[in-house]
Amino acid sequence: MMSTKNVYKPYLMRIVKIIDEAPGVKTFRLQFLNEEEGKSFTFKAGQFAEYSVFGEGESTFCIASSPTRREFIECTFRQTGRVTKALAQKEEGDIIGFRGPYGNVFPIDEWKGKNLLFIAGGIALPPMRCVIWNALDLRDWFENITVIYGARSVADLVYKYELTEWSQRTDMKLITTVDPGGETPDWNGRVGFVPTIVEQEEPSSTNTIAIVCGPPIMIKYTFPVLEKLGFTPNAIFTTLENRMKCGVGKCGRCNVGPVYVCKDGPVFTYEQLLALPAEY
Amino acid sequence: MSHRTFTITHENLLDVLTNTIAVGNRLVAPVRRGKKLFFRDVQEVQSIVFDFIQSDESPKDLVFPRVEPMLAHEYNAGNVYLIDFAEKLQPLPTILFGTRPCDAVALSLLIEFFNEGVGDPFVEQRAENLTIISIACTRADSYCFCTSVGVSPNDSRGSDVLLTPIDNDQYYGIVLTEKGNAFVKKGGDNFIPSEPKDVAQYIVTLREEFTPQEITQRLANAFNHPLWMDASLRCIGCGTCTYVCPLCSCFDIQDEGTQTKGVRLRCWDSCGFSLFTLHTSGHNPRHIQSERWRQRVMHKFSYIPQNRNLLGCVGCGRCSRLCPADMNLKEHLCTITKEMTEVKADR
């Protein structure tokens, strides 16, 4: 008799909406085919899942929607490999696989009463969008909320519709930037690499949590800027994206030092990263 | 059979094994295939090999097969139908006979690892149906180093019955578990109850080259040591060490077939392969072979000890016996414990 559930069996999800975000980047809004499964499914900001096209394989992305909005799950991905190519060819109404949620969470309960500074680059806004919306939906919990978001070019910015909404909100500050050369004639955001913009903005580190997510190169140059501004390593959070297969600490490929990014992460403080070998 | 200990003649043991097949059990035992020695299904007990030091492959695929279909899918008229192979799995009661004690220890650790946390219905169901009859080692070769990693040539952990070859073509046996008891019970009069005996004289003595504590302590600050590069220049990244290792458990998940109909497989993988950690972006956290070799050693002798308070190695020596580049883990570990000094992390 089988007493243990097969964790590798995904939920079936219907794609109810597809949004073209940027060249090669799409957002899927997903709903559980089985309503009961949808009702009992919960997750927290920072967690990820394995999304699959049956016959092609599974890919790991964060859950990009907020846990405060439970009617659907959203994910945003860039078409890069075999699975994301197959995903990108799916249409509204199609069925894909989804298993999760996996990993640890952003400890937003512990951030009550603090300023939040989000710094994201390129396709790394999705994992942050989840926690940004989570924080905005619980707006009273926090002091100032600032988002600094950059992409290679104006076209590469994701969630453009939400960036407009965020820029119009009076209870948060949004700074968008594009890499030099990526601007358009009517671009009225900033021009410059994310670490440079952070340096120019000089956000206060007092009572502030910084949440940083982006390509390795952006993270590498942003951490020192934050340290210079007085952020302590335990006040800087990031989320790692090692290659994963199982999501539950068994397949071994996301192992970095004694941790498994999939179950001990993906959320780490800079302090925790300093104690790990740089194999991420 | 009320006694925990017994003796049995070689001939009677073969009769018992023949009978286990006759009553519908699956018998898996060491057999020769060309020059190699593998654990395979046995129909004729005469084909079982008793005189060997170590099999070429470990018996780990009995609980963790190299390719495991986990799921099948079928697309039909806008709907997707899934078949959960964990529900279909009906493993036959299996007698694994003739394992070395190190393999039995390794199997128990492997099963424990998969059952931890979210669990694994595939490994769990196979393990439940598995009875392990080990034979203690009366010989060893220069690759064996079980005593240096906390395992002994007559280690009883993981075995259901442990046999020790004694004089006059006989075995002295200890029943260690309920499953072992059931196996011996079915053998009836073939097993002669015996008082507990000290059979240490028959067991091979193997020099302790180092201790588990020595290795883990040395490795604690050795991430940036130049030794990793020196030791792995010969490594061709073939992954043999991980495939023959009784404890290596890393795997890949791959889909086969088409979007209309196909199957999702779990396959053995290796930290020695460059693709193991390669990101889609092209970034590879371990992009040269020495980093992958370091990962294998650190995982087994530093990370697993930190997480589970045990080593990821039982000293079976297969990785070194079968390495086409003649890399030797035991020698490497000796170097680590003797010469490696603390090197401060360079970040």
ipTM over 0.85 threshold: yes
Distance CA A211, CA B332 (A): 42
**C-alpha closest to that of A8 among B107, B67, B72, B92:** B72
For residue B213, the number of C-alpha atoms closer than 13 Å in the C-beta half-sphere is 0
pTM equals: 0.93
What's residue B338's pLDDT?
A: 83
Distance CA B276, CA B279 (A): 9
**What pLDDT score was predicted for residue A1?**
52
- B71 min Cα distance to partner chain A (Å): 7
Whether the pLDDT of residue B7 is over 60: the answer is yes
Q: What is the DSSP letter of B205?
A: P
Q: Per-residue pLDDT tens for B15-57? A: 999 999 999 999 999 999 999 999 999 999 999 999 999 999 9
Cβ–Cβ gap A242/B271 under 8 Å: no
Nearest residue to A198 (alpha-carbon basis) of A214, A182, A181, A183? A214
How much is the pLDDT for B281?
Answer: 86
List Cβ neighbours of B87 (8 Å cut-off, separation of 6 or more): A2, A6
Which residue positions in chain A have pLDDT lower than 70? 1-2
Tell me phi and psi for residue B246, to 5 degrees. Answer: -75, -10
Q: Which residues numbered 47-66 in B keep a CB inside 8 Å of some CB on A?
A: none
pLDDT digit string (tens) for B188-221?
999 999 999 999 999 999 999 999 999 999 998 8
For B118-151, how does the pLDDT look when each residue is reduced to its tens digit (9 = 90+)? 999 999 999 999 999 999 999 999 999 999 999 9
Q: Which pLDDT does position B346 carry in this prediction? A: 45
User: Smallest Cβ distance to A2: which of B86, B262, B299?
Assistant: B86
What is the rounded CA–CA span in Å between residue B131 and residue A101?
A: 36
Q: Do B124 and A86 touch (CB under 8 A)?
A: no
Testing the interface with A: which of B64, B80, B343 to mutate, by most A Cβ within 10 A?
B80
- Å between B296 CA and nearest CA of chain A: 11
Do A4 and B255 lie within an 8 Å CB cutoff? Answer: no
What does each C-alpha distance from B177 to A1, A203, B68, B94 come to in angstroms? 21, 64, 28, 15
Please state, in angstroms and rounded to a whole number, the distance separating the CA atoms of residues B341 and B218. Answer: 7
Angstroms from B31 CA to nearest CA on chain A:
30
Q: Is B34 an 8 Å CB contact of chain A?
A: no
Q: For the packed helices A216-228 and A194-201, what is the interaxial angle rounded to 10 degrees?
A: 20
**Structure tokens that stand for B69 in this block:** 């279909």
Average pLDDT over residues B288-314: 95
What's the residue count for chain B? 347
Chain B nearest CA to A55, separation (Å): 4
Contact A58 B253 (CB under 8 A): yes
Residue B186 sits at the chain A interface (C-beta within 8 Å): no
From chain A, the residues in CB contact with B291 under 8 A are 279
Give the C-alpha separation, A164 to B209, whole Å: 67
Average pLDDT (B1-27) is 90
Fold for the domain defined by A11-102: Elongation Factor Tu (Ef-tu); domain 3 (2.40.30)
Q: Do A8 and B71 touch (CB under 8 A)?
A: yes
Residue B152 CA, distance from chain mean position: 15
Beta-bridge mates of residue B135: B163
How large a percentage of chain B has pLDDT more than 70?
A: 97
CA nearest A97 in B: which residue?
Answer: B80
Mind listing the pLDDT tens digit for each residue in B225-271?
A: 888 998 899 999 999 999 999 999 999 999 999 999 999 999 999 99
Residue B108 pLDDT > 80: yes
- Domain A108-239 architecture: 3-Layer(aba) Sandwich (3.40)
Inter-chain residue contact B257 with A55, CB threshold 8 Å: yes
Report residue B80's pLDDT band, with 50, 70 and 90 as the boundaries: very high
Closest by CA position to B121, among listed A97, A4, A52 = A4
All structural domains of chain A with their residue ranges: 11-102, 108-239
**Is B84 in contact with A93 (Cβ distance < 8 A)?**
no
Residues in chain B with CB shorter than 8 Å from the CB of A88 are: none
Closest CA in chain A for residue B115: A4
A81/B70 touch (CB, cutoff 8 Å), yes or no: no
Residue B343: band (very low, low, confident or very high) from pLDDT cuts 50, 70, 90: low
Residues of A in contact with B85 (CB under 8 A): 6
Which residues of chain A have a CB within 8 Å of the CB of B71? 6, 8-9
B307 touches chain A (CB under 8 A): yes
Residue contact A243–B279, C-beta within 8 A: yes
Which helix (H) or strand (E) element contains residue B76? strand B67-76
Name B37's Cβ contacts closer than 8 Å, sequence gap at least 6.
B30, B31, B49, B52, B54, B55, B56
Residue contact A274–B347, C-beta within 8 A = yes
pLDDT of residue B339: 75
The residues in B 242-301 lying below 8 A from A, measured between CB atoms, are: 249-262, 264, 266, 269, 271, 276-281, 283, 285-286, 291, 295, 298-299
Closest CA–CA distance from residue A275 to any residue of chain B (Å) = 10
CB contact under 8 A, A6 and B269: no
Give the per-residue SS3 of chain A: CCCCCCCCCCEEEEEEEEEEEECCEEEEEEEECCHHHHHHCCCCCCCEEEEEECCCEEEEEECCCCCCCCCCEEEEEECCCHHHHHHHCCCCCCEEEEEEEECCCCCHHHHCCCEEEEEEEHHHHHHHHHHHHHHHHCHHHCCCEEEEEEECCHHHCCCHHHHHHHHHCCCCEEEEEECCCCCCCCCCCEECCHHHHHHHHCCCCCCEEEEEECCHHHHHHHHHHHHHCCCCHHHEEEECCCCCCCCCCCCCCCEECCEEHHHHCCEEEHHHHHCCCCCC
**How far apart are alpha carbons A63 and A85 in whole angstroms?**
19
For A160-194, the pLDDT digits (tens) are 999 999 999 999 999 999 999 999 999 999 999 99
